[in-house]
Amino acid sequence: MPTSTLATHREPSTPSHDNPAEQLRAIGREFHARGWSLGTSSNYSVVASRNPLELLITASGKDKSALGPDDFVRVDAHGKVVDGSARKSSAETLLHCLICEKIPSVGAVLHTHSVWGTILSRQYLPQGCLRIEGYEMLKGLEGIGTHDTFEEVPIFANSQDMRELSQRIAARLAHADFSLPRQPFHGFLLSGHGLYTWGKDLAEARRHIEIFEFLFEVSARAATLAGAGPAPGRQQQAQPQQ
Ligand SMILES: [Zn+2]
């Protein structure tokens, strides 16, 4: 049975579901099935080491529905491959490194390209953020305990220049205090592109993706309905009973 070089630091007796590469493969199958990581889009990482910072991240150009055990690379804090393999890391590796460096509690970073996230990120780019307010599902974001609150998801203009893009994001992260029990924000959007979110471990990051995707769809559908005028049921209600 083929094993990943990157996964062999674990004891052989460790069940496969504890293996980071196996967990990321499962994430890829799930996110592809749910329409959040189609084709070769998206990338996922886990912190493999904090000191020095090293990440296990999806290799470039891989179909997320069929990630193999060797479709991952280990990179350092600058995104350089350090596992001796010839595989290339994802083009967006620098953004994963940046998030893990600026937020010390992060253990995993997930990036998806969903329909609703893509639509909203273009719509609300002029405002610089997407404000989501009053939903029970906000409680799925770590540190939030009530529906009576809001999350402002920063939105950055997209770029193919990862250095320039990571500088803009770094400037925004530098102005936020991530040492608080409730993080100032739990993810950000790249306009016309997708979502980045994170968690203290992969399970928390996965939950954040799921919660954000729900909230994005609700926000977009609610905005559509608001633009369409009152629902038919309301019109009927307004008619006096004969
Ligand atoms: Zn992307």
Model confidence over 23-56: pLDDT tens digits? Answer: 999 999 999 999 999 988 999 999 999 999 999 9
Structure tokens at 241: 């009973």
Name which of 21-25, 42-46, 185-189, 222-226 the model is least confident about.
Answer: 222-226
Name which of 107-111, 195-199, 218-222, 231-235 the model is least confident about.
Answer: 231-235
Ligand 1: distance of its center to the CA of 223 in Å? 25
pLDDT at 17: 59
- Smallest Cα–Cα separation from 84: which of 76, 96, 92, 95? 76
Ligand 1: distance of its center to the CA of 61 in Å? 11
Ligand 1: distance of its center to the CA of 65 in Å? 16
Ligand 1: distance of its center to the CA of 231 in Å? 36
- For the chain, the farthest-separated pair of C-alpha atoms sits apart, in whole angstroms, at 80
For 124-144, what is each residue's pLDDT tens digit? 999 999 999 999 999 999 999
Domains and CATH numbers, the chain: 17-229 (3.40.225.10)
The answer to whether the CB of 156 falls within 8 A of the CB of 190 is: yes
Ligand 1: distance of its center to the CA of 43 in Å? 7
- Smallest Cα–Cα separation from 36: which of 138, 154, 115, 119? 115
- Smallest Cα–Cα separation from 181: which of 195, 200, 197? 200
Kindly indicate the confidence band of residue 226, based on its pLDDT and cuts at 50, 70 and 90.
confident
Residue 171's H or E segment, with its range, is helix 162-174
Count Cβ atoms below 10 Å from residue 110 Cβ, excluding itself.
28
pTM for the model: 0.86
**Is the per-residue pLDDT at 238 higher than 60?**
no
Ligand 1: distance of its center to the CA of 158 in Å? 10
Separation CA 127–CA 165 (nearest Å)? 18
Ligand 1: distance of its center to the CA of 192 in Å? 10
The answer to whether the CB of 97 falls within 8 A of the CB of 174 is: no
Ligand 1: distance of its center to the CA of 194 in Å? 6
Ligand 1: distance of its center to the CA of 226 in Å? 30
The answer to whether the CB of 186 falls within 8 A of the CB of 151 is: yes
